[in-house]
Structure 1
Amino acid sequence: MSTMSQTSAPSEPTTFKVLPIMIALLLSGFIGMFSETALNIALNDLMQILHITTATAQWLTTAFLLTLGILVPVSGLLLQTFTTRQLFVASLLFSIAGCLVAALAPTFSVLLIARILQAVGTALLLPLMFNTILIIFPAEKRGAAMGIIGLVIMFAPAVGPTIAGLVLQNLSWHWIFWISLPFLVLSLIFGILFMQNVSKITKPKIDILSILLSSIGFGGVVFGFSKSGEGGEGWTSPVVLLPVIIGLIALILFSMRQLKMKQPMLNLRVFKYPMFVIGVVMIFLCMMTILSTMLILPLFLQKGLALSALTAGLVLLPGGIINGLLSPIMGSLFDKFGPKWLVIPGLAIVVAVLFFLSGITTTSAIVLIIVLHCCLMIGISMIMMPAQTNGLNQLPLELYPDGTAIMSTLQQVAGAIGTAIAVSILSKGMESYLSQSSMPESVNEMANAMVFGSQHSFFFAMIVSVIGLFLAFFIRRVHVKKGAAQAPMH
């Protein structure tokens, strides 16, 4: 497979070997997503083995999101400063180092360092992956290409909990990382042999103040919301409010600075393109819904229905597989029909599923949960890639790195906010239920409290989805002229 592009630098060849590039990106992306969700299912075991509390264990997720929140905004600058090969190799080296350190980790502190190393690798890889696809594929084929990426990104989290459950039954948690390591090494070798430099290097001036404001801004917001989700901190706690307020002030100053600079670190002029704005908002709301639901549902299965980690993973497996398999199909349908006829029905399905999930009880059949989860994943596959691809299609070539950086950053921020609010609602719901119970220590009452809290969390996710459904009616297809940069739509 190869394709011609008018988007590379004039001095470089315009023929890209698409298949080898895609294999290198997909293999590394799959393992990155797999190790993240696989570790989540092992948190209960880690708390017992490493003798840590739930709040401490939460830092394995918080540190990961915090690192992404700080580094991903800088990726637009990195994409214009270093070659595709350099960034890909650096990403894989960080991921391999993180995986190896985690596999050997004797203590929680070492495991936390490993997670940060893995997050650096992921922060470099995600924007690189989307930016590369925008360049090597013509606009009329991007939907299908994004769909293939979606297959990998969604299939890995789907099989992660199931494989982790099998590993934990027979081996130690270290083997979650030992299994991933050879695939990352293979991906690195494949990338070194076949990865091409596809992006144009402009070497923009590095503005230290912009990097500092961005790091404090996105880092503060992610940290504050993550702390609120740990359960021990309330929304009015200074530990939560102070980082969020400081983060928001820093982001306002960062935005003002970027708009005044001739060569901004992150070009906020992408927000002049209305379909990009709608795409960003849709992805933000969708990520809040997905990550909050995918955090609460396993907890409900294990603590509400008393299922084992392996059984919970198996319950969630069919939906994840369906989502992965549908992503390329939805990408092809997007190329033919545009986003509206996928996004609106997709959100309608998500709203309906979350409405039913907000009414689940301890007597709900496992088959019902599987069916609802499968329907949820079908709806999500109809929303994510079409909304994202349509938004990025409207941007001119020179704004691709900024567009992918902004979308990737806001996905991480949305994930932190969504999970934090969901966990906070879950905790408050459980506390409210148990405070009125005559036997709050009994197993049955604890399960009922988990169900009560989960119902409220799913209702919150439904409200977010309803807002998304309203906005979906404003989405319009971006028609891309072959080889031409886009002009703003009015």
Structure 2
Amino acid sequence: MQSTDTPAESSASERMPTADKLTIGALLVATFVMILNETIMNVALSPLMEEFQIPEPTVQWLTTAFMLTLAVVIPTTGYIIQRFTLRGVFTAAMLLFVAGTALAAAAPGFPVLLAGRVVQAAGTAIMLPLMMTTVLTLVPMHRRGVVMGNIAIVISVAPAIGPTVSGIILEIADWRWMFLTILPVAVVALVLGRPRLNTDPGTKGKGLSIPSLLLAVPGFGGIVYGISQIGGGHGTEDLDPEAAGMSVDPAAVGVLVGGLLFLAAFVLLQLRLQKSDAALLNLKPFTYTQYTRALMMMLLMMIALFGALILLPLFLQQIYGLSPLGTGLLMLPGGLLMALLAPIVGRVYDRVGPRPLVVPGASILIVSMTALGFISAATPWWMILVAHLVLSVGLALLFTPAFTTAMNPLPAPLYSHGSAALNTLQQLSAAIGTAALVAVMGLGASMAAADGLSPEAAAVEGFRTAFRFAAALSVVTLLLAFGLRATPAAGSSEKREALAH
């Protein structure tokens, strides 16, 4: 028997319920605050060094420990989200973040502040995969582009404006206000979001694989720590690019190699355990071609994004002599432009698919990075602003289509594992990108100094070399973009009822 629904009735039946919209809204706000917090410390390190009388390698742990915690916890979120109720997971994540923020705000000394950052990171690690899993379950495929556009704001814009927000706060108030400002927002998100998530029990499945956990911690943690230390750290305002290219810590190399060995053992164990549905992180999403292709694009894009977040502020402060606040304000328009474009790109994606967006986006990325490869101390500030705005347009055209295309083909049982793998590799690519670009910057400066350039000119050449390296990586992004296409979901449409109230 044929359906007699009119087009208007069909359209109405496909609209998202208001309760689902409110649920996703609460998750977006909570995750935005958490990821904003990830980079908010970048320009506060120098004041903290003075207040606590600690050296730079010590204060760097505020960013290194945060990244380490993310790298260790995120691989477990696929298991956590499947085993426990969504309301319980959300509540645990938000309580961890609120507790960590309050602890950091009230910290009497550096050890307590560091502990607060670790607790914050544990909550953040759980929230992003939870949000993506919820969106994939609640939102019909033909509307995912718009919602993924909002997720792109969270993932790409929040870290971009973190230094700006902290620069403004530090200009008018004490560093503790960086935490006191976001604390009430997190509490409100917890209060509003918790009742909207269901309490359906998670799947029983197999128990937690302790061997997997014992391999994941040194594997992912060792890689992130080793890479971050080899790269000379990041987030500091007085990084010496020449020194960064000339010195490599042998201990960091050893930790990195050990981490890679543990990771290889972890992957082999997961491949064996997933046959009996007992894997801590199911690797089946990588059998979907579009997931793997889009994921590779995102990893290269993260290098470009963090190249802008790390190298451009360093250039503006070291070469231009701008203050942290001035640097943040100059980069703010780019972050705001990405926020404005992300939902629009999502709507266009729902109509035309990924390729008409990602091919121009990757091309713009190459052009903007190449342009930054020619900056100097004499470059007018407005030209740097324009280059950053163009870069932001390219990233906006790439993020939403890549995220949506990666997750769309997966069946519902793989949502949590697919998002966990995606977010884990994002953290690794951010660390790899930062270390690689800083190392290339140092190498370029060292080679220029060896050719007889002055220290100032050699430093400029180091920045140019790093941006050109990022432009070369962006060419690979363009090649991958040509193969990206929309793919129907493997799961049935009824799966979206899994989170129904």
Structure-2-length-normalised TM-score: 0.88
> Residue in 2 aligned with 1:427?
442
- Give the AA of the match of 1:387: A
> Residue in 1 aligned with 2:263?
251
- Give the AA of the match of 2:228: S
> Residue in 1 aligned with 2:280?
265
> Residue in 1 aligned with 2:485?
476
**Shift of the alpha carbon at 1:420?**
1.1
Identify which of 172, 176, 179 aligns with 1:177. 179
- Give the AA of the match of 1:334: Y
Q: Secondary structure at the match of 2:42?
A: helix
> Residue in 2 aligned with 1:451?
460
> Residue in 1 aligned with 2:383?
368
| Superposed CA offset, 1:350-394 (max 9, x none) | 011000101100011111111111111111111112112111111
**Shift of the alpha carbon at 1:235?**
7.4
Measured in 1, the distance between the counterparts of 2:200 and 2:310 equals: 37
| Superposed CA offset, 1:426-482 (max 9, x none) | 333444555666975xxxx3xx44322211221121121111111222212213488
Contact 1:80 1:204 in 2 (8 A): no
Structure-to-structure mapping, 1:12-411, within 5 angstroms: 17-197=19-199, 201-230=203-232, 237-261=249-273, 262-263=276-277, 264-411=279-426
- Give the AA of the match of 1:336: R
> Residue in 2 aligned with 1:467?
476
Measured in 2, the distance between the counterparts of 1:438 and 1:450 equals: 9
Contact 1:20 1:195 in 2 (8 A): no
- Give the AA of the match of 1:166: I
Contact 2:84 2:201 in 1 (8 A): no
- Give the AA of the match of 1:250: F
Q: In the superposition, relative to structure 1, how do residues 52 and 463 fare at CA in structure 2: closer, same or farther (>3 Å)? A: farther
**Shift of the alpha carbon at 1:185?**
0.8
Q: In the superposition, relative to structure 1, how do residues 153 and 198 fare at CA in structure 2: closer, same or farther (>3 Å)? A: farther
Q: In the superposition, relative to structure 1, how do residues 482 and 212 fare at CA in structure 2: closer, same or farther (>3 Å)? A: closer
Q: In the superposition, relative to structure 1, how do residues 198 and 419 fare at CA in structure 2: closer, same or farther (>3 Å)? A: farther
Measured in 2, the distance between the counterparts of 1:280 and 1:452 equals: 32
Q: Secondary structure at the match of 2:66?
A: helix
Q: In the superposition, relative to structure 1, how do residues 252 and 162 fare at CA in structure 2: closer, same or farther (>3 Å)? A: closer
**Shift of the alpha carbon at 1:199?**
8.5
Q: In the superposition, relative to structure 1, how do residues 281 and 202 fare at CA in structure 2: closer, same or farther (>3 Å)? A: farther
Measured in 2, the distance between the counterparts of 1:76 and 1:4 equals: 31
Q: Secondary structure at the match of 1:296?
A: helix
**Shift of the alpha carbon at 1:425?**
2.3
Aligned residues: 471
RMSD: 2.5
Q: Secondary structure at the match of 2:430?
A: helix
Measured in 2, the distance between the counterparts of 1:347 and 1:398 equals: 32
Measured in 1, the distance between the counterparts of 2:417 and 2:224 equals: 20
Contact 1:275 1:394 in 2 (8 A): yes
| Superposed CA offset, 1:304-352 (max 9, x none) | 1011111111100111000011111111111111111111110110011
**Shift of the alpha carbon at 1:154?**
3.7
- Give the AA of the match of 2:80: L
Q: In the superposition, relative to structure 1, how do residues 114 and 171 fare at CA in structure 2: closer, same or farther (>3 Å)? A: same
Q: In the superposition, relative to structure 1, how do residues 178 and 470 fare at CA in structure 2: closer, same or farther (>3 Å)? A: same
Measured in 2, the distance between the counterparts of 1:242 and 1:318 equals: 41
| Superposed CA offset, 1:377-434 (max 9, x none) | 1111111121121111111111111111100100000011111112222333444555
Q: In the superposition, relative to structure 1, how do residues 73 and 437 fare at CA in structure 2: closer, same or farther (>3 Å)? A: same
Worse overlay, 424-433 or 356-365? 424-433
Q: Secondary structure at the match of 2:175?
A: coil
Measured in 1, the distance between the counterparts of 2:259 and 2:156 equals: 30
Worse overlay, 456-465 or 148-157? 148-157
Measured in 2, the distance between the counterparts of 1:132 and 1:208 equals: 27
| Superposed CA offset, 1:66-98 (max 9, x none) | 111111011000011111111111111111111
Contact 2:411 2:489 in 1 (8 A): no
Percent identity between the aligned chains?
38
Measured in 2, the distance between the counterparts of 1:419 and 1:219 equals: 16
**Shift of the alpha carbon at 1:152?**
3.6
| Superposed CA offset, 1:249-275 (max 9, x none) | 222211211122212221112211100
